[in-house]
Amino acid sequence: EAGVAQSPRYKIIEKRQSVAFWCNPISGHATLYWYQQILGQGPKLLIQFQNNGVVDDSQLPKDRFSAERLKGVDSTLKIQPAKLEDSAVYLCASSFGRTSGPYNEQFFGPGTRLTVL
């Protein structure tokens, strides 16, 4: 079974530029998550989709971050404009079921490491 795919793996941009990350979840997984992992911290949930609808985006900085999951499969996370504090690893995860419960394991991709100069 193929895992969660993410691209690019690394990205370096200057502040105020825009950037986009792509995620392809495991086939058949209804729920997709984007996490931000700042150096020295654990991953923090940014947004959760169920199929192509947003379940939770309470921790997404909506003035500069946006995400979409067209057709309920692939997803794109965008930052525009980027700030220095956005430097982090952006992780995508997917799960078969609808919620973050104990029976619904999340499978993580390798992440995209973003450096904002």
Q: Which is nearer to other proteins, 6 or 82 (CB)?
A: 6
> Could you tell me if 81 and 98 are in contact, meaning their C-beta atoms sit under 8 angstroms apart?
no
Stretch that binds other proteins, among 12-20, 21-29, 75-83, 99-107 (CB under 8 A): 99-107
Position 96 contacts other proteins (CB under 8 A): no
The amino acid occupying position 63 is D
> What are the structure tokens assigned to 87, written together?
């430097």
Strands 112-116 and 10-13: parallel
Position 102 contacts other proteins (CB under 8 A): yes
C-alpha span between 68 and 23 (Å, rounded): 10
The amino acid occupying position 105 is E
Position 53 contacts other proteins (CB under 8 A): no
Stretch that binds other proteins, among 11-19, 69-77, 78-86, 105-113 (CB under 8 A): 105-113
> What are the structure tokens assigned to 28, written together?
């058949």
Position 25 contacts other proteins (CB under 8 A): no
Position 56 contacts other proteins (CB under 8 A): yes
